[in-house]
Amino acid sequence: MDTNNTSGCQISRRGFLKIMATGAAVVGASSTMGPLLTACSKAASPAQDASGKGLFKDSVGVCRICNTWCSYLAKGGEHFELWGNPHDPIAGCWKDGKGRLCVKGYAGPEKALNPDRIFFPMKRTNPKKGPDEDPGFVKISWDEALEIAARRYAETVENYGDKGVALVMRSSDWSKRFAAATTLPNSVGHQSTCFTGHCWAWPALVEAISDPGTRAWTHDFGNSTYLLSFGFDQVGRAQNSTVQGVIKALEAGAKGSCFDPQYTVLANKLVAYGGHYHPIKPGTDGAVIWAMIKWIVANHKYNASFIDSYVPAAEWTAFLAFVAANGFAPGLDAGASPEAVAAWAADISEVPATEILRVAREFCNDGNMKDWRPVVMTHKRDGAGGPNYTNSWRNAYAELVLGILMGSVDRLGADILGRKFKVPAFDDVCPPPKEGYPEPEYKAPEKKFGRLDQRSKWTGAAAGQGTFDVFKHQLLADDPYKVRMLITSFYNWPMNSTDTAQTVEVLQKCFVVNHCFYADEGAWMSDLLLPDVSPYEKTELVAGDSNAGQSLYSFYKLQEPLIEKLGDTRGLPDVLYGIAKLLDTGAHGKFKTWKEAHKAYADAQDAVWRRANPHYLKNRDTLTQYLTVDGTLKGEKWGGAFVSNAQLKALAATADSGWPKKLTTLDAVAAQIGTKGDGSGIYPKYEDAKPFKDYGKLKAGKVHLDITVRENGKYATVPRPHDAQGASMVISERFPGYAPPVHPGRASADPASGRFHMLIYREQGMCHSESKSEELMVELFGPQTVEMHPDSAAHLGLAEGDSILIESEANKAAETSILHLSAHIRPDCIKMAHGWGHWKFGSSKLNPNPKELDALVGPPRSFGMHASAGVGADDNAFVHARTLKEMIEQIDPSATVPMSDVILKVTKSSRPAPARSVLV
């Protein structure tokens, strides 16, 4: 244990817990560091003030490690503990008066005190940029940091127009308004790495979901009678709602089957309770699903009552005819028997036909639908039910059809649609100026520049965000225009995008303003670091919706500060507002204002497009007029709540909202359910909530099986060559039933010659790659190894513990790791945990923190993610980033990142792979 520090306060990395436990430290907020100085002096001799408040406070809050957002209760002072909130529908799922979190949630508060956090704004001093170039970051003030960002923004607009700047961040009210006000066409997010397959399928088939690309469904596994998984393993990720739901269902007698190339934790649980595991060949799930559909439909084992009520009669008739007449594959013509189709699927998937048919029979309870609530386990974060591969939309579609046949849409024990208070839209309660947003350059009638990734040329949902893949390719090619500045937030881009080497190139090419949390790879490659606030330091009100794992009723969760703010950090709204304010009024570079910079650009580009778009400079007097709350400039307040006071006020004023008239402000809500109120942290609680009603969100004749029905300008859901084959292609085509091998990485594995399919997983204690910054989690879940079947290893002359070289055939990336042998994986696959391979930086010092802060978070350290630097293989590096040409040609509406298409070559390495010890 490292107790060496230079602060004068003898407190080690884990020492903060001891400060907290003795109740010695009193920490005040702030950038002045005065209160922290107090904390340090007390911490040096903790026994002196045993009556003082602890570092962590009594509070209610919302864990934000993953998207489940469980509510927690914290008991500060001596022996700090974090509990699940028993009133929370997820954390209190067992309804025994106690709440529980997952392993990540219990350790979550450590993130706020992680010594690898960036606590102060910094700028790069080394103009050279690269993994081996020390950025030479130096601490600066927020004023200087925002001024640099604003000046660079104005210069970029001068040279490249609005298009020259792009946002790389999760979409939010703030980012959307900033982009609209500045007319930025390029805003890209990460969702194509996760869940877009189902985000395409659900809005296409279920009309209750109004917007394409919406994550509006979630699950209620606890009341299920049969759990069917194709590559789903949220149990293996310890997701709270899933673990509690699955165990609850299994204890109540549910059965299940799991199709997965790796023997997952979910498979383990299903088998332990009498279910089945099938080691399926990667990427062939669709064939098994369609074979099941064929058998169920041919034998009339579906939920006729649900179909009669919710599926349009004509569509059902057409679907029956389609299934009856279709063998799904060449050689299986009209009239092919279900058994013949199962044999075809068995040949593709390597799951015996008898097993496929047995699961089909089990899943539909042999047609007895009374009290039968089966579910296909899908999740918004699992792509097409598990792995993501080219055209895995087919899998998502087939899974949803299987669910519809069982009536498993918006029903207890199945996939359910979100319930939440009808909060007025942000634009409704905080409207932009009457003149509306500025006319963006890219909408100029004669010159449609559009998005850099040319998203409008692809099929599918989630059109607003695009994908990292195409964006990166187009940026590097300057096609069709140049982007030279990125404003990024939250993402550690090199480690959460495809093709790490390509991402590095992009970051080298641009000026990068990074609203960051850790001294990670993304920060290393940036020009300006603007430190983010920890969620544990905030006061917020969070709506319980489909983003929250389970949404049987509408509710709100309160976040009170668990810890006072450390360092000098700001939330994203304040950052965006701060830049906009300076662009309006500051004197930067050549131009005094943002408007002036735009005018200069417009003049320069006059011949090209200004005459074509005379509205370009209209409504551009100020930027901040668009970035308002209640019509006034309140940038500081933006970070205050997920739901603003204006929205609460409007909610309370809505007659049938069910929201109390008196709860019109965050303070009022906090006074009622916070630690100064009843401490429940949740409104309403179980006993006060509106009961869930099966199918309550569905309307008659509003669930579809034909994906072409909703196809129109808004729902570009039909995968087809552009305007070439008409809207009926999919429903009438000879459905191949599995993802066709259209991608080079889709080549078959050959374990005898060392070529394997790549599988990834996440350890229960880890969420994103940033989890690898947590010493405790790395201690418990390392070392990072790559798992291979013993037979395959024997062929290659490899043994347990060998150092191996892994090379991607898709993009030539190479990584080293340590081999672990296990019979619980197919011989043609290898698997690795997601998010390892953090860079081991050189000797760059990152020690701008006052000693007082170091006393709380640990001794000064150099730049990097120290808990895991240099350990394991970076799985992202292996994944091919799809090009625009591929995206158009492959007609993949879900636009998923094809991580499961990757073929890896494994050989023995002469270079030892670094590892950490693990506590077992």
Partner 1 sequence: MSKGFVVDLKRCIGCKACVVACKLRYELPEGVARRAVRTREFAETPMRCFLSLACNHCEHPACIPICPQAALSKDAEGRVIHDPGKCIGCRRCEFACPYDAICYDLETGTITKCDACATRSDGPRCVAACHAKALSWVDVDASFTLAAAQVVKDGKALLPDPRQTTPHLKVVR
Tokens for 179? 């982009």
Q: Quick one: 397 exposed, middle or buried, by C-beta within 10 A (0-12, 13-18, 19+)?
A: buried
915 binds partner 1 (CB under 8 A): no
Question: Which tokens in the block code for residue 72?
Answer: 């927690």
Residue 919 binds partner 1, judged by CB under 8 A: yes
Nearer to partner 1, 36 or 258 (CB): 258
Cα dist from 205 to 85, 609, 701, 709, whole Å: 35, 41, 11, 8
Q: Which region, judged by CB under 8 A, interacts with partner 1, from 81-89, 205-213, 400-408, 656-664?
A: 81-89
- Which token pair is 564? 């006072």
Residue 18 CB, nearest approach to partner 1 (Å): 5
Instruction: Return the residue of 79, 422, 693, 885 that touches partner 1, per CB under 8 A.
Output: 79
Strand ordering across the sheet containing 226-230: 276-278, 255-259, 226-230, 374-376
- Rounded least distance, CB 825 to partner 1, Å: 11
Taking CB under 8 A as the rule, does residue 71 contact partner 1?
Answer: no
What is the CB neighbour count within 10 angstroms for residue 843?
A: 7
**At closest approach, how far in Å is the CB of 238 from partner 1?**
4
Shortest reach from residue 790's CB to partner 1, in Å: 11
Which residue in this structure is represented by tokens 């890209």?
188
Print burial letters for 57-77: b (CB count within 10 Å at least 16), e (below 16). bbbbbbbbbbbbbbbbbbebb
Q: Which stretch binds partner 1 (CB under 8 A): 233-241, 326-334, 536-544, 732-740?
A: 233-241
Would the CA dihedral through 701, 706, 711, 717 be positive or negative? positive
Nearer to partner 1 by C-beta: 21 or 888? 21
- Asked if 647 and 472 touch (Cβ cutoff 8 Å), the reply is no
Mapping DSSP to helix (H, G, I), strand (E, B) and coil, where does residue 417 land?
Answer: strand
Least CB distance to partner 1 at residue 83 (A): 7
For residue 216, the minimal CB distance to partner 1 (Å) is 26
- Judged by CB under 8 A, the stretch of 46-54, 241-249, 557-565, 737-745 that binds partner 1 is 241-249
Contact criterion met (CB below 8 Å) for 386 and 233:
yes
| x/- map, 242-261, partner 1, by CB under 8 A | -xx--x--xx----------
Q: Which of 7, 9, 11, 17 binds partner 1 (CB under 8 A)?
A: 17
Asked if 273 interacts with partner 1 (CB under 8 A), we say: yes
User: Can residue 47 be called a binding residue for partner 1 (CB under 8 A)?
Assistant: no
Among 38, 268, 803, 883, binds partner 1 (CB under 8 A): 268
| Binding flag, residue 355, partner 1 (CB under 8 A) | no
If one asks whether residue 781 binds partner 1 (CB under 8 A), the answer comes out as: yes
The candidate with the shortest Cα–Cα distance to 189, out of 573, 605, 489, is 489
Residue closer to partner 1, measured from CB, 567 or 765: 765
Residue 630 backbone class (left: φ over 0; alpha: ψ -120 to 50; beta: rest): left
Figure out which of the listed residues 272, 334, 607, 724 binds partner 1, where binding follows CB under 8 A: 272
Among candidate residues 524, 485, 521, the one with its CA nearest the CA of residue 128:
524
CB 839 within 8 A of CB 868: no
Query: Looking at 42, 57, 100, 219, which residue binds partner 1 (CB under 8 A)?
Result: 100
Question: Applying CB under 8 A, what is the total number of residues that bind partner 1?
Answer: 48
Considering only 1, 334, 607, 724, the residue that binds partner 1 (CB under 8 A) is 1
Structure tokens at 488: 């990024």
Which residue number, 214 or 822, has a Cβ lying nearer to partner 1? Answer: 822
Q: Of residues 764, 792, 876, 909, which one binds partner 1 by CB under 8 A?
A: 764
Residue with tokens 């058998």: 295
- Interface positions, 804-833, toward partner 1 (CB under 8 A): 822-824
Pick between residue 263 and residue 437 the one whose CB is nearest to partner 1: 263
Residue 759 binds partner 1, judged by CB under 8 A? no
- The order of strands in the sheet holding 187-188 is 138-139, 122-123, 528-531, 511-516, 485-489, 165-168, 187-188
User: CA–CA separation, 223 vs 175, rounded Å?
Assistant: 38
Coil, strand or helix at 637: helix
Would you say 251 or 435 has its CB closer to partner 1? 251
Single residue of 775, 787, 807, 875 touching partner 1 by CB under 8 A: 775
Distance CA(387)–CA(264), nearest Å, equals 13
Residue 106 in contact with partner 1, rule: CB under 8 A: yes
Binding stretches for partner 1 (CB under 8 A): 1, 12, 14, 17-18, 21, 79-81, 83-84, 94, 98, 100-103, 106-107, 235-236, 238, 240, 243-244, 247, 250-251, 263, 265, 268-269, 271-273, 764-765, 775-776, 779-781, 822-824, 917, 919-920
